[in-house]
Chain A
Amino acid sequence: MPLDDRYQLAFKLYPYARSADQDAETPVRHPVVVVGGGPIGIATTLDLGLQGIPVVLLDDHEGIGQGSRAICFAKRSLEIADRYGCAGPMLDKGVVWNVGKVFHEDRQIYEFNLLPEEGHRFPAFINLAQPYFEKFLVERVREAQAQGAPIELRGKNRLEGIEVKKDHTILTVATPEGNYDILADWLIAADGAGSPLRGMMGLDFEGRVFQDSFLIADIRMLSESFPTERWFWFEPSHKAGASTLLHKQPDDIWRVDFQIGWDVDRAEELKEEKVRKRLDAMLGADVEYEIVWKSIYTFQCRRMKQFRHGRVIFAGDSAHQVSPFGARGANSGMQDVDNLGWKLGMVIRGEAPDRLLDSYHEERAAAADENILNSTRATDFITPKSRISHVFRNAVLALSETHEFARPLVNSGRLSVPCIYDGLSLTGEDALTGGPEQTRPGSPCPDAPLGDGFLLSALDHGFTLLTVDAKDAADVSEGGIAARHLPIGKGDDPSGALARRYLGEATSAVYLIRPDQHVVARWDKYDENAIRAALRRACAKE
């Protein structure tokens, strides 16, 4: 098959260049090869490269694809990007919104304000077109490379074949100048929902198909400025879609999403005049705009049974696919990377046993199940699958106009929040009486103001031993793994948010925190033996 582009590029960032591997007499062996240059693949190279682990990324294109696709990036994704050093430009470019309006037929039934919780560096989410999110990641890769991070991005390098061995894989890669082979100790599949690699390995990807199509368009408003709000219509009388979503992106671009039914003629529906007809019905004929991008998608909710297959590990959409309602696609993929990066790093450096990587599947498959459950519920509400479901849905909408109780039942997508690894293998004990629910073991650490900055940026890239008003604590080292002590006292907590989020009713607290900022275990005071045991557990050493 020729190496023709399957899609148009928004940014050509890594043009094909001949690699020395192509002229090697015997295939060159690499510690890590990543397949796929989407946000998950690029973020994986950053995580590993910043740890000093050599990583090669293969992408069959030479940059970032056109089209906004994912637009909602949640707080946790920004916090992860901040660990990699590229959240700043995302935040600068992204749009923050708080007000949402819900319509049924043509009536506004209610309006909500998300009223962000104070004391976080990042907002609950930003709207940013996916190509920008990816571009900022690639720019950070370039910066890290300049500082010596051993990352290689290979454009127009398409994986053609794989031979799986016990402790490595043999990869055949196609380029415009012919094929070559390389070996990979570890292979990360970040090649998207249609994952060719998954196909080559003959692996399953089972789930539920939703019988509905969505016409999605990005439009640039030319005439008037619309407010920065999220508008969702159930059964609008303009009939442009059975449901319709309007969402603001940067640069006066708006995302419009029409639910158009299952049996549609794609080519017909994507014709400019046909799309304009829908848009005019929704916006009114006098609103001027240009269509920047359009597409029709259908979706499934499904995941692989196993995310890890020996030395091949699947991350992001290649491992799990959800409906777009609730922004759980790219956001959960970023959490996969966050989860995988430190574990793979420790295993490669020989600091932890191979089975630490089994916990990647355990934790992220649990997260995928939670995301699939939430996005399925939203989908079932937006597109009721039976007559009685439709009756209940409309009853909720009718009551929610005047009766507050019905509003929490309206579900046009629940905001993506990270999964808490309750009761999973690496999660340790909760020995903090009166400690807040939100920081229990397994939780991602909530941010809080710390001195002049924020807590999360003060955490270590390895393990951190966070103590709040605790005595006699120190760094702890167990089997070559260190947890750096971060002591916090009353004077460091200007807003009181830290005490609310980490002490609750307790007077002192000790937290062992993983490199991905999830809590391993917590205690009311410093107990070196307990901390050592928790560290062993978090590294899958017991």
Chain B
Amino acid sequence: MSLNTKPNIAGADEFYAELIKSHDGLTDEESVAFNARLILLLANHIGDRTVLSRALQIAGEADRDRPRA
């Protein structure tokens, strides 16, 4: 299987609002921890190692602000 990067969430606006709302009241540190748990849950659900590696790669590529070596 390959990583699906086409739109795949029905009700994208509702999802996004729920995602942001789930961070309400968290400190920055708590938010980072929240995100880590979320990523681990979703990664387990996906399971497919090829898909996960591809997602890790794209997430890195899209980070334009990261200082380059």
Interface residues of A (CB under 8 A from B): 374, 377, 380-381, 386-389, 392, 395-396, 398-399, 401-405, 407-409, 411, 414
A405 pairs with B4, CB closer than 8 A: yes
Known contacts A388-B23, A388-B28, A398-B64, A409 near B5 by CB under 8 Å: no
**What's the minimum C-beta distance from B1 to chain A, rounded to whole angstroms?**
15
Question: Contact: A389 with B20, CB < 8 Å?
Answer: yes
Report whether A386 and B23 are in contact in the complex, using a CB–CB cutoff of 8 Å: yes
Pair B4/A377 contact, Cβ less than 8 Å = no
Chain B residues packing against A (C-beta within 8 Å): 4-9, 12-13, 16-17, 19-20, 23-24, 26, 28, 31, 58, 61-64
Q: How many residue pairs between the two chains, A and B, have CB atoms under 8 Å in the bound complex?
A: 54
Q: Are A380 and B62 in contact (CB under 8 A)?
A: no
Q: Once the chains bind, are B8 and A388 in contact (CB under 8 Å)?
A: no
Q: Is the CB of A389 within 8 A of B23?
A: yes
Assess the B62–A408 pair: CB atoms within 8 A.
Answer: no
Q: Are B7 and A407 closer than 8 Å at their CB atoms?
A: yes
B19/A392 in contact, CB under 8 A: yes
| Known interface pairs A405-B5, A407-B7; A388-B13 also in contact (CB < 8 Å) | no
Q: Quick one: closest A residue to B31, CB to CB?
A: A388
Known contacts A377-B16, A392-B19, A409-B12; 17 additional CB pairs below 8 A are A374-B13, A377-B17, A380-B20, A386-B24, A388-B23, A389-B23, A398-B63, A399-B58, A402-B61, A403-B5, A403-B58, A403-B62, A405-B4, A405-B5, A405-B9, A409-B13, A411-B13
**Contacts of A392 on B, CB cut-off 8 Å?**
16, 19-20
Chain A residues contacting B12 (CB-CB under 8 Å) are 408-409
Residues of B within 8 A of A404 (CB): 5-7
Set of chain B residues within 8 Å of A411, measured between Cβ atoms = 13, 16
What's the Cα separation between A197 and B38 when bound, in Å? 50
Q: Are B8 and A405 in contact (CB under 8 A)?
A: yes
Q: In angstroms, how far is the closest chain B Cβ from the Cβ of A399? A: 5
Q: Is the CB of B20 within 8 A of A408?
A: no
Give the shortest distance, in Å, between B27 (CB) and chain A (any CB).
10
Once bound together, how far apart are the Cα atoms of A396 and B19, in whole Å?
A: 12
Docked Cα-Cα span, A377 to B58, in Å, equals 27
A411 to B11, CA, bound (A): 13
Q: Which of A380, A387, A396, A409 has the most C-beta atoms of chain B within 10 angstroms of its own C-beta?
A: A409
Shortest beta-carbon contacts, A-B, top 3: A408-B12, A388-B31, A403-B5
Contact partners of A399 in chain B: CB under 8 A? 58, 62
Contacting pair B64 A405 (CB below 8 A): no
Nearest-CB residue, chain B, relative to A105: B64
Contact A409 B16 (CB under 8 A): yes
Residues of B within 8 A of A387 (CB): 28, 31
Residues of B within 8 A of A402 (CB): 61-62
CB distance from B51 to the nearest CB of A (A): 13
16 contacts between A and B (CB under 8 A): A380-B17, A388-B23, A389-B23, A392-B19, A395-B62, A398-B63, A402-B62, A404-B5, A404-B6, A404-B7, A405-B8, A408-B7, A408-B9, A408-B12, A411-B13, A414-B13
Q: A249–B9 Cα gap in the complex (Å)?
A: 34
List of A residues within 8 angstroms of B4 by Cβ: 405
Q: Given the complex of chains A and B, what is the CA–CA distance between A91 and B61 in angstroms?
A: 45
